[in-house]
Amino acid sequence: MERALAVPRLPPHDPGTPALSVVDMHTGGEPLRIVLAGCPEVVGPTLLAKRRYMRQHLDHLRRRLMFEPRGHRDMYGAVLVPSELPDAHLGVLFLHNEGYSSMCGHAVLALGRFAVDFGLVPAPPAAAREARVNIHCPCGLVAAFVECEGGRSRGPVRFHSVPAFALATDLLVDVPGRGKMVVDIAYGGAFYAFVSAEKVGLDVCSAKTRDLVDAASAVTEAVKAQFKINHPESEDLSFLYGTILTDGKDTYSEEPTTNICVFADEQVDRSPTGSGVTARIALQYHKGLLELNQTRAFKSSATGSVFTGKAVREAKCGDFKAVIVEVSGQAHYTGTASFIVENDDPLRDGFLLK
């Protein structure tokens, strides 16, 4: 009979560097690594100030968690922090391969389940079918609604977005090596450029991912160079997060419309992209292609996973006419981990292959 190995709680590591304990989830295939313990206090009077503090003082933790050998170039993360908003149950900072996002829909869907199951909100009554979780994201307060059974999460989650709006439509952009093309820019907690993949000579449903990434990245860089992004309420939110290539099927249909989102440093979203769905719904509503409470399905060309979205009511963001968008999707748990550091590890804070 083989002798069982005695497994220590943690392997040898630097005792001065706390282990980072995480819960891993995914939503439609897009990962989310939620930090449970080990992160130092993130200082700041507001969530946006905390975001700036983490970027300036704790960025090595982002690299340690997102990059290889503990992660990969498409890993996504969340650090939970206190919120200054009285109605918020929790605040969150989003991590990716380049830095810190202002909004992440797939993460909100996962965090809704996590907040219920890990006691971050009052336990829902056993008979309750849904629990509300108010999540303060850098873009603002987002309400998640979590299906429950027996006081625990189950099934899909939906969220109501911050006011989403079209920033620019039919914008002519000169993309080096690809020519001039018309793009739209819309906001769903983050700004995205939207263009039909057909305009860059690709089929979003069948093209190689590398080709889609190259095309989307070229559009992103061209828009950044030729168009100034301005959010009406905050300079912290005034940046282009990425480009979403679509199948061009913007007119309402009961059939899913397919897209792929390439954001940050050529990071590929495996899900249909929650904030991207929000922005795309706002864009379609702005163009008169959707009515209020008309639900559309959005399919990821990367994994085939599906989110649904609908504009639930009109709103304002500065002088922009906007809508509140409801996005629904399914998140799943995948595991837990504790990440450590050894003093003599030259790659302690991670690396990425280009």
39 in active site: no
The verdict on residue 45 lying in a domain is yes
pLDDT of amino acid 1: 44
pLDDT of amino acid 9: 83
Residues 311, 259, single domain; the answer is yes
Give DSSP secondary structure letters for 202-257: --TTTS-HHHHHHHHHHHHHHHHHH-----SS-GGG-SEEEEEEE-S--S--SSPE
Average pLDDT of the chain is 96
Report how far apart, in Å, the C-alpha atoms of 143 and of each of 22, 47, 104, 135, 324 are.
23, 16, 13, 6, 11
Amino acid of residue 16: G
Helix (H, G, I), strand (E, B) or coil at 299: strand
The verdict on residue 11 lying in a domain is no
Give me the CATH number covering residue 136: 3.10.310.10
**Peptide bond just before 346 cis, omega within 30 deg:** no
CA angle 262, 265, 268 (to 5 degrees): 30
Residues 152, 205, single domain; the answer is no
Question: What is the per-residue pLDDT across 63-119, written as a single tens digit (0 to 9) for each?
Answer: 999 999 999 999 999 999 999 999 999 999 999 999 999 999 999 999 999 999 999
pLDDT of amino acid 20: 97
Residues 277, 196, single domain; the answer is yes
Centre a 10 Å sphere on the Cβ of residue 138 and count the other Cβ atoms it contains.
23
Q: Which two tokens stand for residue 96?
A: 């990716």
Residues 97, 230, single domain; the answer is no
Q: Which two tokens stand for residue 323?
A: 């809508």
* Structural domain of 219: 162-327
Residues 155, 283, single domain; the answer is no
The verdict on residue 106 lying in a domain is yes
The verdict on residue 248 lying in a domain is yes
- Once rounded to an integer, what is the mean pLDDT over residues 248-268? 97
- Are 316 and 297 in contact, with CB atoms under 8 Å apart? no
Helix (H, G, I), strand (E, B) or coil at 99: coil
pLDDT of amino acid 127: 79
Domain total in the chain: 2
Question: What is the per-residue pLDDT across 34-71, written as a single tens digit (0 to 9) for each?
Answer: 999 999 999 999 999 999 999 999 999 999 999 999 99
Counting Cα atoms < 13 Å in the Cβ hemisphere of 220 gives 22
Residues 66, 147, single domain; the answer is yes
pLDDT of amino acid 91: 98
Rounded to two decimals, the pTM is 0.96
DSSP state, residue 156: E
Helix (H, G, I), strand (E, B) or coil at 108: helix
Residues 104, 185, single domain; the answer is no
Question: What is the per-residue pLDDT across 145-191, written as a single tens digit (0 to 9) for each?
Answer: 999 988 889 889 999 999 999 999 999 999 999 999 999 999 999 99
pLDDT of amino acid 2: 54
DSSP state, residue 4: P
The verdict on residue 204 lying in a domain is yes
The verdict on residue 4 lying in a domain is no
pLDDT above 70 for 6: no
Residues 102, 242, single domain; the answer is no
Q: d(Cα 58, Cα 306) in Å, to the nearest integer? A: 34
Q: Which of 39, 104, 139, 148 is catalytic?
A: 104
Residues 181, 198, single domain; the answer is yes
Residues 80, 199, single domain; the answer is no
Helix (H, G, I), strand (E, B) or coil at 112: helix
Residues 122, 199, single domain; the answer is no
Quick one: what percent of the chain has pLDDT higher than 70? 98
- Once rounded to an integer, what is the mean pLDDT over residues 217-241? 97
pLDDT of amino acid 89: 98
Residues 53, 184, single domain; the answer is no
The verdict on residue 223 lying in a domain is yes
Centre a 10 Å sphere on the Cβ of residue 302 and count the other Cβ atoms it contains.
22
pLDDT of amino acid 21: 97
The verdict on residue 306 lying in a domain is yes
Strand 240-246 and strand 191-196: pairing? parallel
Q: Which helix (H) or strand (E) holds 16?
A: none
